[in-house]
Amino acid sequence: MLVIFLRAVIIYVCLFILMRLMGKRQLSELQPFEFVITLILADLACVPMAEVPIPILYGLIPIFSVFMLHVLITLLSAKSIKMRKLLNGLPQIIISRGSIDAQTVKKLGMHVNDVLESLRTKGYFSPAEVEFAIVETGGAINILPKSDTRPVTPSDMNLAPAPSLLPVSLIVEGKILHANLVNFGTTEEKLAALLKKQRLNVKNILLLTADSDKNVYIQPYLEKFMTLKADI
């Protein structure tokens, strides 16, 4: 049992490292060749984990071989447009100015109901509301709504809102993120002074964020959130 446990840990660590090196993508965003390689890696990992008579090296070598193949394919697709088209395909327009392209939908192995479901997930319940809908190479469907059905934006109303600011997490689940404090340009003393003023302490905070315009968001564990202006 101990041998099986150790083999599982070793293979898990190796797979974890390789998947990290392969980059961060959601499963739905994987290109076809990436999805195939992921399935192969999972299958290769199962055998040496449970089959003790098989040397663990016989499992690790194919795993690293497949990983190197992935690296090679990624480099080729990055350098060659033709290779990228061959491996990933091209985005396909399935709706153009409100009209569904039946031939393209069929070629992609989809049905009209699939298209309608994708539209509903984006907030549109009729193809007539859509200018263009494109199926990306990873399978995701992106939509460009018609100008009279899309949400109104500040530019439509000739407004010039202030630029959006990126909040920085300073406390998460009762713990101070010291690296973020340094990058934000503040100190634990200033943070403690702010919490003391609000009669709170670090351990009671689920989330505290701040941005460069002095906007502070505080969500305690057991109370409602609060927003305030504070120089920290």
Residue-wise pLDDT tens digits, 101-121: 999 999 988 999 999 999 999
Percent of the residues in the chain that have a pLDDT greater than 90, as a whole number: 44
Asked if residue 27 has pLDDT above 60, the reply is: no
In CATH, what number does 168-229 get?
3.30.240.20
Q: Is pTM, for the whole model, over 0.75?
A: no
Asked if residue 11 has pLDDT above 80, the reply is: yes
Residue-wise pLDDT tens digits, 169-178: 999 999 999 9
Dihedrals φ, ψ of 160, to 5°? -125, 80
Band (96; pLDDT cuts 50, 70, 90): very high
Note whether 92-145 and 168-229 share their fold. Answer: yes
Residue-wise pLDDT tens digits, 31-72: 667 777 778 887 777 777 767 777 888 778 888 888 888 888
Task: Measure the CA–CA gap between 3 and 16, rounded to whole angstroms.
Answer: 20
Q: What does the domain layout of the chain look like in residue ranges?
A: 2-86, 92-145, 168-229
Considering the domain delimited by 92-145, tell me its CATH architecture: 2-Layer Sandwich (3.30)
Band (30; pLDDT cuts 50, 70, 90): low
Long-range contacts of 193-200 (CB under 8 A, 24+ apart): 193/232, 194/230, 194/232, 198/226, 198/228
Dihedrals φ, ψ of 44, to 5°? -65, -30
How many residues are listed for the chain in this entry? 232
Asked if residue 165 has pLDDT above 70, the reply is: yes
Band (29; pLDDT cuts 50, 70, 90): low
Task: Measure the CA–CA gap between 143 and 147, rounded to whole angstroms.
Answer: 12
Asked if residue 204 has pLDDT above 80, the reply is: yes
